[in-house]
């Protein structure tokens, strides 16, 4: 892949880089994107039918089972070359912040020091009633590959059901994280937008905010998305392919 010279110069002289990521960045670690996560037991569901508070209240075993299956996939996965390239950028640029929609912890495990989770985490569940955090067992559950129904644990404080620590459809983004992400989008010199279909609002407005504030917006995705027109550069390929090549070209 031949990279545009001006794009390389923008990265080389950037003081602040924001890296906005979605499910696609973890795809090459074997973590299914949203659409691909609806296999096995969940093939007859839409994400909107599982990732809501209403679904959890109506069928807690089904929804908790889906999240436990996803969490066990993450525990078995390793960060890939894309996560590692993003983490390595920190030695090359004065300030790098990852703004992720992902609920896995692969950026942190790759070594990224500053990660904003806009949609929460699979690893930090809490009580649906009193909000107290719940500690999960660290081992990997050996459930069937297609997943199974699992009753959620009960809160040790109030006996309410424990819910996944993620942001569901219809819920607000965590206010501090969202505020910081918007400020970074306004302030950064370069914004990478990697592996996100960007149809989930309001997180999807991050590339637009960056562009309106004259950042160089670099889009990395193997397929076209509805926000390609907002990018300064569109790099067609998987996150691992493109970031490995870029890292090699620039020597970071």
Report the catalytic residues.
Answer: 119
Contact 237, 220 (CB under 8 A): yes
158 binds, among Zn ion, ligand NAD, none (CB under 5 to 8 A by kind): Zn ion
Can residue 8 be called a binding residue for Zn ion (CB under 5 A)?
A: no
> How far apart, in whole angstroms, are the C-alpha atoms of residue 13 and residue 117?
27
127 binds, among ligand NAD, Zn ion, none (CB under 5 to 8 A by kind): Zn ion
Contact 140, 75 (CB under 8 A): yes
Q: What are phi and psi of 169, to 5 degrees?
A: -55, 135
Pick the stretch among 63-71, 85-93, 147-155, 217-225 that binds Zn ion (CB under 5 A).
147-155
Contact 11, 250 (CB under 8 A): yes
Nearer to ligand NAD among residue 28 and residue 129 (C-beta): 28
Spatial CB neighbours of 119, under 8 Å, sequence gap ≥ 6? 100, 101, 102, 103, 166, 167, 173, 203
Pick the stretch among 102-110, 160-168, 192-200, 207-215 that binds Zn ion (CB under 5 A).
160-168
CA separation, residue 225 to residues 18, 122, 193, 220, 235 (Å): 20, 26, 11, 10, 12
Among 111, 143, 160, 222, binds Zn ion (CB under 5 A): 160
Distance of closest approach, residue 181 Cβ to ligand NAD, in angstroms: 13
> How far apart, in whole angstroms, are the C-alpha atoms of residue 153 and residue 159?
9
Using N-to-C axis directions, what is the helix angle for 239-250 and 81-88, rounded to 10°? 40
3 binds, among Zn ion, ligand NAD, none (CB under 5 to 8 A by kind): none
> How far apart, in whole angstroms, are the C-alpha atoms of residue 206 and residue 126?
27
| Element (DSSP H or E) covering residue 159 | none
Distance of closest approach, residue 165 Cβ to Zn ion, in angstroms: 13
Distance of closest approach, residue 100 Cβ to ligand NAD, in angstroms: 8
Pick the stretch among 42-50, 63-71, 156-164, 179-187 that binds Zn ion (CB under 5 A).
156-164
155 binds, among Zn ion, ligand NAD, none (CB under 5 to 8 A by kind): Zn ion
**Alpha-helix runs per DSSP H in 91-150:** 106-110
Can residue 154 be called a binding residue for Zn ion (CB under 5 A)?
A: no
Can residue 130 be called a binding residue for Zn ion (CB under 5 A)?
A: yes
Task: Note the residues at the interface with ligand NAD (CB under 6 A).
Answer: 22-24, 26-28, 31, 33-35, 37, 101-104, 119, 195-198, 200, 221-223, 225, 238-239
Distance of closest approach, residue 93 Cβ to ligand NAD, in angstroms: 21
Footprint on this chain of Zn ion (rule: CB under 5 A): 127, 129-130, 132, 155, 157-158, 160
């Amino acid at each position: 892949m031949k990279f545009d010279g001006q794009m390389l110069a923008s990265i080389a002289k950037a003081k602040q880089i924001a890296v906005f990521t979605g499910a696609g960045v973890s795809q090459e670690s074997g973590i299914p994107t949203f659409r691909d996560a609806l296999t096995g037991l969940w093939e007859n569901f839409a994400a909107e039918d599982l990732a809501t508070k209403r679904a959890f209240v109506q069928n807690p075993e089904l929804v908790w089972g889906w999240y436990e299956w996803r969490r066990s996939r993450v525990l078995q996965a390793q960060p890939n070359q894309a996560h590692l390239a993003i983490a390595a950028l920190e030695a090359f640029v004065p300030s790098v912040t990852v703004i992720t929609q992902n609920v896995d912890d692969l950026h942190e495990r790759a070594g990224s020091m500053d990660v904003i989770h806009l949609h929460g985490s699979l690893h930090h569940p809490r009580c649906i009633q009193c909000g107290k955090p719940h500690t999960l067992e660290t081992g990997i559950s050996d459930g069937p590959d297609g997943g199974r129904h699992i009753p959620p644990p009960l809160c040790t404080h109030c006996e309410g059901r424990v819910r996944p620590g993620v942001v569901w459809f219809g819920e607000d983004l965590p206010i501090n994280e969202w505020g910081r992400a918007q400020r970074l989008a306004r302030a950064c010199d370069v914004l990478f937008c990697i592996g996100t279909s960007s149809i989930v609002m309001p997180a999807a407005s991050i590339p637009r905010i960056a562009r309106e504030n004259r950042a160089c917006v670099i889009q990395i995705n193997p397929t076209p998305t509805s926000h390609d027109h907002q990018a300064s550069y569109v790099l067609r390929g998987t996150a691992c392919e493109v970031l490995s090549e870029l890292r090699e070209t620039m020597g970071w």
